[in-house]
Structure 1
Amino acid sequence: MHLCYIDEAGNGQTLDPARPDAPPVLVVGGFTVPRAQVRSLTWAFLDVKKHYRPQLRNAEQLSEVIQHEIKGADVRKNLRAGNHNWRRAAMELAASLLDILEAHETRILARVWIKEEGLAFDESGVYPASVAALNETFQAQLAHEHSRGMMVLDSRTKVKNAPNVHCVTTRKYRAGGDSLRGIIESPVFGHSDTHTLLQVSDLLVSSLLFPIACHAYLNDVRWNVHCDDAYEPLREEFGARLRKLQFRYQDTVGKWRGGIVVSDRRTQQSSSLMFSPGKTVTVPTSAIPGQPGAPALERPEAEPDGGPSVLP
């Protein structure tokens, strides 16, 4: 049996100079892990937390260590605005996170959405679509491993949670047959302060995938606080490791799917840009698509071997 833990970084705010702190990307993703590795991975992560939060070593109750969260947003802040020691600690934490993921047979899956300046972003539609696509990847892995599995989503609110489950439930119980047979139940929801491995998912998505996407696809957006050159070392140091941790598969027509998939409707760049620098398209920061005088964006071809660059 395999378990899959999913979290998100970003939201539906419009990318606009009037909101310099609006997230320029939305990432929905996480990792899968064999059931036999769950306990070991959990203890390995608790040791990581104790290493980077020394005060936890003296905790009287295990629950104190479990409930204490190292948030990806804090890691990003240390990279952007911290001193040399803080930046080094942030990079070492990211390395430790990948160490334990690699050591416990995990596989990464994610959907990364790049926003366009000045255009509304439909989070209510994008999030369920992402969960549905991640379930397809999870199902493909389960079939490959001859396994069964269940997905755990980080809980938000009931209104936001429900649509993310319905899109999977209807596919499992529709009249035409269950296309997600390896997934034993529709996604369930957990809270990160009680589900330790959701904290691992948060760090993966928020301290690695989110900042790498911001720098890789929007490095010309200088007015946004999240598009910072301080994130460049993350891709340089960890891009190749993230690539190897993906689970990718070929569909019935031989097209590669799964892994970390980027929907870049801003400049149509390949998903491979998450792992190594490529041909970067510069968009004038003064030009917001859809407004008078804004030039059309160039659409370069996707790089080979990068996987799909745009979701259906």
Structure 2
Amino acid sequence: MQNLYVCYVDESGNGQILTTLNHQQNQPVLVVSGIFVPFKNLNLLTMRFLGLKQTYFPPSPPVNHDLNLILHEIKGTQIRRNMVDSSRNIRRISTNFMKDTLTIIESLDAKIAGKIYIKEYNTSISEVSMYSTAIQTIAATFQNFLTSCDGYGIMILDSRDHGKNLNIAHSIFTQMFCSSGNKYSRIIEMPSFGISDNHAGLQICDLLCSSIIYPLVATSFLTPTIYQPNFVKPKFAIVKQNFAARIKSMQYRYQGLGKSMGGLVVSDPVNRKHGGHLFI
């Protein structure tokens, strides 16, 4: 078990077409990210995260057992709103909660990777293709990471619905059993799908996607005059100031095809910026 890793994957946003008719409700980006956690550290990750929940957001009424705190999920979208709230106290609590969450995963040698899509207005896109490509991108980075440490791993994705789960698993299946050979030889099986209420890793991944990476994307890639202000808030710059450097250092990056690969990869057909702009 020494070199076994778990890759948890969640997303923020959606793969729906962005139009001038739905842009007030439809998010202009899709963020899919994974966090690589050593299996030997899963117990510490879970128990420390439950402790943070109890410290910052104790449920009311109180739970009858500490382990039931896992069922009290704190959504990343709410933390994102809180971190730019008009109330200083609300901002402080949520920001410190996320700072301490990052401290936990940093201390347990976790790494992150992901795929981010910036949407163009009125441009046809395929949600299946976008999400499948994102998962394949994360799987390829995970494979390289596992090779670098002579490890093996499994992937646990946040469950959506049967049809979407089926498409994602099949996109990895075709890469594992293609005639040219298994592209993910160190990933033990097809991705499994978990309910986030039961996985600390999925809950943490949701927090990273929605409350930190999304504001980094909005600040770095979305123009307020083009996209709706409810998705591009000026105060997101504070989130970037607080977290960009730490997220940058947590990426797993590697050299491949003559260039640096892995980490948070951005597909930006609008401004054609690369992922490095997340941290500028």
The separation in 1 between residues aligned to 2:194 and 2:227, in whole angstroms, is: 36
- What letter corresponds to residue 124 of structure 1 in structure 2? V
* Distance change >3 Å, CA 222–CA 264, structure 1 → 2: closer
Matched, 1:223 2:225: no
Q: Which residue of 1 aligns with 2:35?
A: 31
The separation in 1 between residues aligned to 2:95 and 2:126, in whole angstroms, is: 33
User: Contact 2:5/2:154 (CA < 8 Å) preserved in 1?
Assistant: yes
* 3-state DSSP of counterpart to 1:54: coil
User: Contact 1:30/1:204 (CA < 8 Å) preserved in 2?
Assistant: no
Q: Give the count of matched residue pairs.
A: 275
Q: Which residue of 1 aligns with 2:14?
A: 11
The separation in 2 between residues aligned to 1:223 and 1:176, in whole angstroms, is: 45
Equivalences for 1:228-307 in 2 at 5 Å?
228-251=233-256, 253-276=257-280
Matched, 1:68 2:72: yes
Q: Identify which range, 52-61 or 117-126, moves more after superposition.
A: 52-61
Kindly state the Cα deviation for residue 55 of structure 1 after the two structures are TM-superposed: 3.4
Cα deviation digits, residues 37-63 of structure 1 (max 9, x gap): 111011111111111113379421234
Q: Which residue of 2 aligns with 1:127?
A: 131
The runs of 5 or more residues in structure 2 that have no matched partner are: none
Kindly state the Cα deviation for residue 173 of structure 1 after the two structures are TM-superposed: 1.6
Q: Which has the higher contact order (CA 8 A, sep 6+)?
A: 2
Q: Which residue of 2 aligns with 1:168?
A: 172
User: Contact 1:21/1:226 (CA < 8 Å) preserved in 2?
Assistant: no
The separation in 1 between residues aligned to 2:25 and 2:83, in whole angstroms, is: 16
The runs of 5 or more residues in structure 1 that have no matched partner are: 277-312
User: Contact 1:21/1:224 (CA < 8 Å) preserved in 2?
Assistant: no
Equivalences for 1:136-175 in 2 at 5 Å?
136-175=140-179
User: Contact 2:15/2:131 (CA < 8 Å) preserved in 1?
Assistant: no
* Distance change >3 Å, CA 13–CA 173, structure 1 → 2: closer
Kindly state the Cα deviation for residue 86 of structure 1 after the two structures are TM-superposed: 1.1
* 3-state DSSP of counterpart to 1:127: helix
Kindly state the Cα deviation for residue 102 of structure 1 after the two structures are TM-superposed: 0.6
User: Contact 2:33/2:115 (CA < 8 Å) preserved in 1?
Assistant: yes
RMSD across aligned positions (CA): 1.6
Q: Which residue of 2 aligns with 1:294?
A: none
The separation in 2 between residues aligned to 1:72 and 1:272, in whole angstroms, is: 23
The separation in 2 between residues aligned to 1:17 and 1:79, in whole angstroms, is: 28
The separation in 2 between residues aligned to 1:32 and 1:83, in whole angstroms, is: 34
* 3-state DSSP of counterpart to 1:261: strand
Runs of 4+ in 1 over 6 A off after TM superposition: none
Structure showing greater radius of gyration is 1
Kindly state the Cα deviation for residue 17 of structure 1 after the two structures are TM-superposed: 4.2
The separation in 1 between residues aligned to 2:236 and 2:259, in whole angstroms, is: 31
The separation in 2 between residues aligned to 1:168 and 1:12, in whole angstroms, is: 19
The separation in 2 between residues aligned to 1:244 and 1:32, in whole angstroms, is: 14
* Distance change >3 Å, CA 86–CA 16, structure 1 → 2: farther
* Distance change >3 Å, CA 147–CA 56, structure 1 → 2: farther
The separation in 1 between residues aligned to 2:179 and 2:227, in whole angstroms, is: 50
Cα deviation digits, residues 45-87 of structure 1 (max 9, x gap): 1111111113379421234301000101101222344412112
User: Contact 1:9/1:26 (CA < 8 Å) preserved in 2?
Assistant: yes
Q: Which residue of 2 aligns with 1:198?
A: 202
User: Contact 1:22/1:224 (CA < 8 Å) preserved in 2?
Assistant: no
TM superposition score normalised by structure 2: 0.93
Percent of matched pairs sharing the same residue: 34
User: Contact 1:10/1:27 (CA < 8 Å) preserved in 2?
Assistant: yes
The separation in 2 between residues aligned to 1:142 and 1:82, in whole angstroms, is: 43
Q: Which residue of 2 aligns with 1:292?
A: none
Kindly state the Cα deviation for residue 218 of structure 1 after the two structures are TM-superposed: 0.5
